[in-house]
Structure 1
Amino acid sequence: MNMEEYKNITSILRVPIGSLRREFDSSNFPFETTADLDKMAKEMIGQQRAERAMEFGLSVEQLDYNLFVVGPSGTGRKTYTLDSVDKIAKTREVPNDWCYVFNFDNPDHPLVISLPAGEGQVFQRKIETLLIDIEREFRSTFSSEEYEKKKQVIIDQFRDETEDLWDLAEDFANEQQYNLERTPTGINSYPLYNGKPLERKKYEQLSVEAQEQIAACEKLVDGKIRETLHQIRKLEEQLQKNLEQFMRESAANSIEALFQPLREAYQDYPNILTYLEAYFHDVVVSFSFFLASEEDEQNNIMNALIGSKEQHFHRYTVNLLVNNKHQKGAPVIYETNPTFYNLFGKIEYRGSLGSWVTDFSYIKPGALQLANGGYLILQATELLQQPYVWSLLKRSLQTGYVQIENSLEDRGMVPTSGIKPEPIPLNIKVIIIGSYYLYDLLSAVDDDFHKLFKVKVEFDTVMDRNSENCYKMAMFVKNYAEQEGLLPFHRQAVAKIVDYSSRLVEEQSKLSTRFQDITKLLVEASYWAKKSEAESVDGRHIEQAIAEQIQRTNHASEQIREMIQKGTIMVDTEGFRTGQINGLAVLGTRDSVFGIPTKITAQTFVGKSGIMNIDREASLSGQIHNKGLMILTGFLSGEFAKNRPIPLSASITFEQTYSAIDGDSASSTELYVLLSSLAEVPINQGIAVTGSVNQWGEIQPIGGVNEKIEGFFHICKERGLTGEQGVMIPKQNVANLMLDHEVVEAVNQGKFHIWAIGHIAEGIELLTGVVAGNIRDEFGQYPAGSIFAKVEDRFNTMYEAAKIEKQ
């Protein structure tokens, strides 16, 4: 084609200046600075889908409608979740208090008691007061004169009965001519002779029959003594029982009046009445603990074994596990460290005789207990990093109970004495905040996930760029500036922020909802404005802040550009070369993304191996890149091999790349360089190319279009703009253009160009200046001298050469 035809094509395909960047007109804002705006109530911007899902999930009361808030970080998902939950929680009822008390029937299984909010502390204090009153009443009762009199009556009765038994024994002994004498050391008995004690000498003078008679009587007397002692022991046992019963009855009678008000106050709580009854009987049985003095405590060696008075009294206290007395509405707990114990509670221990022991008073609540009746918010990343926590959380939600247990106590090196508290009924809504990856992972590997988390609250990264959202963006800027003590923002600055937001999402008709990036820009722009002693932040401060951000993070891109300038990385930006083209790639570091040109070369020759991807053979090519090259084979075969096979061998590679290559954004570029090599037509090296291609030769959109254009522009600028350089992009990517002002100005001055391509034929004409000729005539021939005709001629030559070689 001649120069006029070529200029006509370049003009038709050139992207208009107005499409290279969309700029917001600051005059559309009805304010001078954000200080003129009224403060906006907290609301989410551009997340209508998430708002509706959040409202539904928090409002539905049926079980298993827990929420999973999914979306990328920086979209405000955590802030909005906390605000939404706090707002609805204030409208809910305050949940009950929860207490643990001693189980008098089974001490290893403490009992749980639920009371209305604030009543748990009242109950705890009443039980504490009851314990004090019981001790006072016991001391008063057991030290009273009336008690001592009644006790003495029981003892005197025992003594009388004992004396009667001894009298009977003495009478029996007298009948046997024996006398009994009770001494402190025991019972003495001796025979009588004529009413007087028989002396030893006199006994020896007696006849054998008389001596035998005395011995027989002695035997009878000893039997009577044994019988009497046995009866006395039985009386002593009965005395102890009578005294014990009397003391217990005295104890019971003395404290009965103390329990009656409690029974009346909690008559609607059967479990408390049961507890009070057990409490009453245990106190009566253990009344002696209340009477022990401090001196007795210190001298009693058994305290080390059975426990001190203070330890014993622990059983008569109340462990107020959850106190909602000061709670306004339903509780909201945001647990940032969801370890096993932080989430489910724990049982603490104390040392005793080389072992670890515990009781119900050492039970401590976790987030589930504290949030019971309300809302628990967790971060998925932290949650899934904790052993056992996810499975136990599911179990609690499935069963409707939360069990406090020390799951790892069996791994301890020190012996422990454990307890198993009664589980607490669970009525809670769990909200988990996480990424798309974790949501998809749980969906794939856990069958219970969707049963328990039925509400997905999805946060998008973009919103429509309309007047409403732009105004909300201005309101957001105002709120954040006042919250953080920043300078007010001029409407020109806000307009720049709107444009910057569109650049973040690479979409002229969209805005970013990742406000974390926006707030970073606000802080830095305010800094530069204050440094220049400005009263407000204007447009130039926004531009300065963006430039400073780039300068801080562009070290890697500057190094690569420097190597290109020095020729270390070989990239041509002028002239024509056959089988060589400039592709565009996007590279990234932790905090920077930039585009660079990459030389792509191809060689074609006769053979049957097809297109060989050198990078694939070197294991540097990803799956998507391999797919792109297979599409090239499909296109060439569809165009030039419908009636016969192509005897083609070709090699193609990204020159001077030493890391993995992936993506199909260079597939059209690779097709251009193959066509150039096959047609033996040189390509303009001042034009860089990006875009994927399908088997029909249609150009498809890609990502990172702004970075790719700007990357090639900076290389050309540093070498000197010729006015012939530019970038070919897919026409669908025009809507993604938010180019830097410097690039737009260069295009406006004709020093640089952006072309939008829809088909491979348009691109090859622009690159070579030769007509593509991709449409066959009625004889099935491509136009003579066109690129496609030259390629077909080359294939014909290859085919003939292959036939000759075969012969």
Structure 2
Amino acid sequence: MSIPRELTYQELENKCDTASFPFSNTSKLGTYEGIIGQERAAKAMKFGLKMKTRGYNIYMAGPTGTGKTSFARQLVNEIAINQKVPDDWCYIYNFNKPNQPMAINLPAGMGKVFQKDMEEFVKTIKQEIVNAFDNEKYEKEKEEILDEYESTRDELLAKLSQDAEAQGFKVNTGSSGIYFLPIIEGKTLSEEEFENLDDDIKDQIDEKTNILQQDTLEIIRKLKNNEKETKKKVAEWESRIALLAIGVQVNDLKEKYSKYSDIVDYLENIQQDILNNLDEFKEEEISEEQPQLIIPWMQKEETPLHKYKVNVLVDNSNLKGAPVIVDFNPSYSNLIGKIEYENEFGSVSTDYTKIKPGLFHLANGGYMILQAKDVLSNPQAYEAITRVLKTKKITIENMKDQTGVVTVSAIKPQSIPVDIKVILVGSSSIYHLLYEYEEEFRKLFKVKADFDEEMEKSNENILKLASFIGGFCKKENTLHFDKSGVASVVEYASWLVEDQRKMSTRFNDICEILCEACMWAECDNAKYVKAKHVKQAIKEKNYRNDRLDKKLLDMLNEGTLMIDTDGREVGQINGLTVMDMGDYSFGKPARITASTYIGESGIVNIEREVELSGTSHSKGVLILNGYIGQKYAQDFPLSLSASLCFEQLYGGIDGDSASSAELYAILSSLSEVPLKQYIAVTGSVNQKGEIQPVGGVTHKIEGFFELCKLRGLNGKQGVIIPYQNIKNLVLNDDVVNAVRKKQFHIYPVKTIDEGIELLTDMEAGVKGADGKYKEGTINYLVSKKLERFALAVLNSGNHKK
């Protein structure tokens, strides 16, 4: 029998050698710009940012705290600063379709210039028009036109009166029109007197009246034409005066914006609109001091001047390079903009000046960085993003009004073309969900920048991490780290990923320790942060979170939770588990027991029977059937009933890391050879009896060590781990020192046979040429027990027959 080797303390030490550090402290280092240990993701990001083809938006996938958002912001800013500043965007009144405001774009900075020009234009024309119509020349010319009208009118009415008198009638004009009164013997008859006349005379008068009315219709037609011509002359004269008043201003603006046909057309429409609404402009403005009567039930009417306002939606005058927008509240309206409403005495109204920009407007021509989780948690936000990216335009559409107030006006702003690169930052699980179930996502986010949670523990990356620490200290204005302090942070980064050859890229977790170590160094009045301060920060952080850990440890030590750390027992072994509390993980031993007896039901997993077993754990138990059958039941049927149980476990359990321990317990029960209770076991097993690596091995070892230390180390205690997990051992100093003093032992094994020999001090045994195991070995005892079970079952069957 060959006892598996145990690991030396040198193999367990996760020490960072400071001899090769080219600095004495981090203040001597320059700040590292960039992402550390994410070469694949960085390359994917640069590729995605260079690709201008439609659909090459980026999804940054990876664990939280790896610096994805910070890296995206930094890299995008570096690229955007050298790109062209995009145009400003404005909304103006649409004279042809008033409910569809027009969108116009101008070079960066010209939007607010155009807005100011129009404000000045409105102020100027208001005064110019008032001045133009408030002078003697205008009044004189208008009076001449009206005098001509009155003269022509008087001539026509005089002729009508003469013709009427010749026929024996007098003409009367009133508000109701022109009518005739008969004259008999020089006397004008009243209506009553006319009714008293003989019928023959009345008929003669009516006949003359009919003839006279025909002439009157011609006169009336001429009167109306005269009035119409007069109004036309007045309007033309006023238009000429108004054009003289505003023509210079309009022409100046048209010349200034001659390159922009939409603005030129807009100015021409404004000019015509002014001429069409001259009466509004001729009136003097009401003084601000003059009290105005406000009637609540009368709605405010907009003046024509309101239509000449410019709504600058996007002002890029202060922008340098392309815009980079980072947002953490991507709601529907925040993304595509909104139309605000104004409540006027119970009615809601709006116009184009109340159109507000969204993130897409602000980021147009540049980049937008959003958190995938934030997008998915906001109703319709994801749909808004995909719609804009598909259509390449931003269409502002208000969501259904939920206020219950009647909307009296609605507008549909013209869509704005968009050129943007969207970068979503999120977890890998969200990426896979979207990729699987959202067809549009595959078409629109073709670049995946996959961030890893670990990086190589190379000298290059260690130096980058040291530069990162130096940059952090400068940014936060804290104490710098000396060599030992940096080395301890490197060791902590390895502990986070449980790998001696790797370091964590979860810089958020690393920064927490940097902050806390700086605080402890300041409390110590130290000049630099040293290794002892980093270790104190880690220790204090663990202490804040390990309440449940210590409580369970006390329960184990006092025997409430039954775990033996000395002696030997048949069918009983200490397995190792990890409890993850979210912000804190710790390992604890768990007693596993096995009972075997004659039967054909196979191995019964008690946890599975009571629905406390996860799928991985159940799979691990089922594998044991395959191993036992393949190893021992080649010459006889397997007739075994066995039950496995995690004692005093009342919560769920998952994972197959205890399958080797469960197999050892079954082999002990079958062979009736006791197992060492002072050696705990972790490791998965396959059907060939090979030990497979597991997770959380560091926590598991430290959990069992804490219990042994509390009860007193006797020099025999230790753990069995998979051989492949040696690289994952980043143990605390207490465990390493105990191994160095031979007070605690760690044994890596490759097979079940190696483990059973270590647990029993007996040879496992191999099959000889005759297919039998060597007598006195564990496998021999197990095989004989199973053969006896099978014979008993066969005899029981014959007896029944």
1:110 aligns with 2:101: yes
**What are the equivalent positions in structure 2 for 1:285-324 lying under 5 Å apart?**
285-294=276-285, 307-308=300-301, 311-324=303-316
- 2:121 corresponds, among 122, 130, 143, to 130
Letter in 2 for 1:375: Y
Q: 1:157 to 1:646 in 2, by over 3 A?
A: same
Is this contact kept in 2: 1:190–1:197, CA < 8 A? no
**Counterpart for residue 25 of structure 2:** 33
Residue 217 (structure 1) shift: 4.6
1:96 aligns with 2:87: yes
**Counterpart for residue 793 of structure 1:** 784
CA distance in 2, matches of 1:306, 1:566: 82
CA distance in 1, matches of 2:61, 2:588: 34
**What are the equivalent positions in structure 2 for 1:151-550 lying under 5 Å apart?**
151-180=142-171, 196-197=186-187, 217=208, 220-221=211-212, 224=215, 228-229=219-220, 231-294=222-285, 307-308=300-301, 311-409=303-401, 412-550=404-542
Letter in 2 for 1:689: V
1:782 aligns with 2:789: no
- 1:620 corresponds, among 607, 612, 624, to 612
Q: 1:163 to 1:529 in 2, by over 3 A?
A: same
Letter in 2 for 1:646: L
CA offset digits 1:402-431 (Å, max 9, x no partner)? 011212227744334211000000111111
Describe the SS at the equivalent of 2:370: strand
CA distance in 2, matches of 1:182, 1:754: 125
Q: Which stretch of structure 1 is more off in the superposition, 107-116 or 25-34? A: 25-34
Letter in 2 for 1:780: G
CA distance in 1, matches of 2:194, 2:423: 104
CA distance in 1, matches of 2:477, 2:294: 68
CA distance in 2, matches of 1:113, 1:723: 83
Q: Which stretch of structure 1 is more off in the superposition, 168-177 or 732-741? A: 168-177
Residue 795 (structure 1) shift: 1.0
CA distance in 1, matches of 2:241, 2:609: 98
Residue 479 (structure 1) shift: 1.2
CA distance in 2, matches of 1:21, 1:402: 59
CA distance in 1, matches of 2:613, 2:342: 62
Residue 212 (structure 1) shift: 6.9
**What are the equivalent positions in structure 2 for 1:648-687 lying under 5 Å apart?**
648-687=640-679
Residue 231 (structure 1) shift: 4.0
Q: Which stretch of structure 1 is more off in the superposition, 272-281 or 606-615? A: 272-281
CA offset digits 1:741-768 (Å, max 9, x no partner)? 1111111111110000001100000000
CA distance in 2, matches of 1:805, 1:503: 57
Letter in 1 for 2:676: N
Letter in 2 for 1:329: G
**Counterpart for residue 804 of structure 1:** 795
* Runs of at least 5 residues in structure 2 that lack an aligned partner in the other structure: none
Describe the SS at the equivalent of 1:409: coil
Residue 203 (structure 1) shift: 11
CA distance in 1, matches of 2:552, 2:195: 135
- 2:70 corresponds, among 73, 79, 83, to 79
CA distance in 1, matches of 2:375, 2:657: 38
Q: 1:192 to 1:589 in 2, by over 3 A?
A: closer
CA offset digits 1:256-292 (Å, max 9, x no partner)? 3322222222222222222222222112111211122
Residue 251 (structure 1) shift: 2.5
Q: 1:785 to 1:151 in 2, by over 3 A?
A: same
CA distance in 1, matches of 2:156, 2:647: 122
Is this contact kept in 1: 2:595–2:666, CA < 8 A? yes
Q: Which stretch of structure 1 is more off in the superposition, 49-58 or 323-332? A: 49-58
- Relative to the length of structure 1, the TM-score reads 0.94
Letter in 2 for 1:321: L
| Paired residue total | 795
CA distance in 2, matches of 1:94, 1:544: 50
Q: 1:535 to 1:306 in 2, by over 3 A?
A: closer
Letter in 2 for 1:783: K
Residue 177 (structure 1) shift: 3.9
Please provide the CA RMSD for this pair: 2.7
**Counterpart for residue 588 of structure 1:** 580
Is this contact kept in 1: 2:335–2:384, CA < 8 A? no
CA distance in 2, matches of 1:337, 1:298: 45
CA distance in 1, matches of 2:711, 2:689: 33
**Counterpart for residue 705 of structure 2:** 713
Is this contact kept in 2: 1:178–1:221, CA < 8 A? no
CA offset digits 1:408-461 (Å, max 9, x no partner)? 227744334211000000111111111111111111110011211111111111
Q: 1:777 to 1:719 in 2, by over 3 A?
A: same
CA distance in 1, matches of 2:569, 2:25: 55
Describe the SS at the equivalent of 1:328: coil
CA offset digits 1:750-801 (Å, max 9, x no partner)? 111000000110000000011000x211111111111111111001111111
CA offset digits 1:619-638 (Å, max 9, x no partner)? 00000001101111111111
CA distance in 2, matches of 1:303, 1:314: 22
**Counterpart for residue 700 of structure 1:** 692
CA distance in 2, matches of 1:204, 1:371: 87
Q: Which stretch of structure 1 is more off in the superposition, 499-508 or 297-306? A: 297-306
Describe the SS at the equivalent of 1:560: helix
CA distance in 1, matches of 2:40, 2:522: 39
CA distance in 1, matches of 2:517, 2:47: 39
Is this contact kept in 1: 2:348–2:405, CA < 8 A? no
CA distance in 1, matches of 2:569, 2:236: 115
Identity of aligned residues (%): 41
Letter in 1 for 2:607: D
Is this contact kept in 1: 2:454–2:497, CA < 8 A? yes
* Runs of at least 5 residues in structure 1 that lack an aligned partner in the other structure: none
**Counterpart for residue 11 of structure 2:** 19
Q: 1:153 to 1:623 in 2, by over 3 A?
A: same
CA distance in 2, matches of 1:534, 1:203: 126
Q: 1:783 to 1:424 in 2, by over 3 A?
A: same
